[in-house]
């Protein structure tokens, strides 16, 4: 069995430590919407913190898209991909929140709600990276002609 260098181990640990809070912040708009639509007096106190997290979702999504991108690009393109990432992640998270709803519980079964949403977000990021790579290859071929 091959040993992983220290840099790779640090990268894996950092991904695990930062991935869960990042997915919770990126999925905060779905939870804030669900709390607002349920209109339960016991859950109203949780709405404000999730609205603040929702405000941080778009800048975090732009950062995640920028870090996962395959090269330099323009900020409007990153923002568009970030909106796509948020739409997919929050759409799936909202459907899962409705599906796994428990009375009086703000965030039921986190793994069932945000697990599929995180996998879909990863698919969006991989798709964006492949798209970037394809566009870069096309540009290189044009220059070679």
Token pair 């913190």 is found at 49
Q: Specify if 115 maps to a domain.
A: yes
- What pTM does this model have? 0.79
Q: Specify if 113 maps to a domain.
A: yes
Q: Specify if 139 maps to a domain.
A: yes
Q: Specify if 97 maps to a domain.
A: yes
Q: Evaluate whether 67 touches 132 at the Cβ level (below 8 Å).
A: no
Q: Specify if 128 maps to a domain.
A: yes
Per the structure, the count of domains in the chain is 1
The domain of 35 spans 6-144
Distance CA 17, CA 4 (A): 18
Helix extents (H) in the chain: 6-26, 28-38, 47-67, 75-99, 110-144
**The pLDDT of residue 51:** 92
Q: Specify if 119 maps to a domain.
A: yes
**The pLDDT of residue 84:** 94
pLDDT tens readout for residues 128-141: 888 877 766 776 67
**The pLDDT of residue 106:** 67
Angle at 131 between CA 116 and CA 68, to 5 degrees: 60
Find the farthest-apart pair of alpha carbons in the chain and give their distance in angstroms, rounded.
Answer: 66
Distance CA 120, CA 110 (A): 15
Q: Evaluate whether 125 touches 68 at the Cβ level (below 8 Å).
A: yes
Q: Specify if 1 maps to a domain.
A: no
């Amino acid at each position: 069995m091959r040993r992983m260098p220290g840099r790779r181990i640090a990268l894996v640990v950092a991904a695990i430590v930062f991935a869960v809070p990042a997915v919770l912040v990126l999925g905060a708009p779905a939870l804030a919407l669900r709390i607002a639509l349920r209109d339960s007096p016991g859950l109203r106190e949780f709405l404000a913190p999730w609205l603040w997290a929702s405000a941080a979702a778009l800048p975090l999504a732009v950062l995640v898209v920028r870090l996962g991108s395959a090269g330099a690009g323009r900020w409007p393109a990153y923002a568009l991909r970030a909106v796509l990432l948020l739409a997919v992640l929050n759409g799936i998270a909202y459907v899962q929140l409705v599906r796994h709803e428990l009375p009086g519980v703000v965030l039921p079964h986190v793994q069932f709600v945000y697990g599929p949403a995180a996998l879909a977000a990863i698919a969006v990021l991989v798709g964006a990276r492949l798209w970037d790579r394809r566009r870069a290859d096309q540009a290189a071929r044009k220059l070679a002609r």
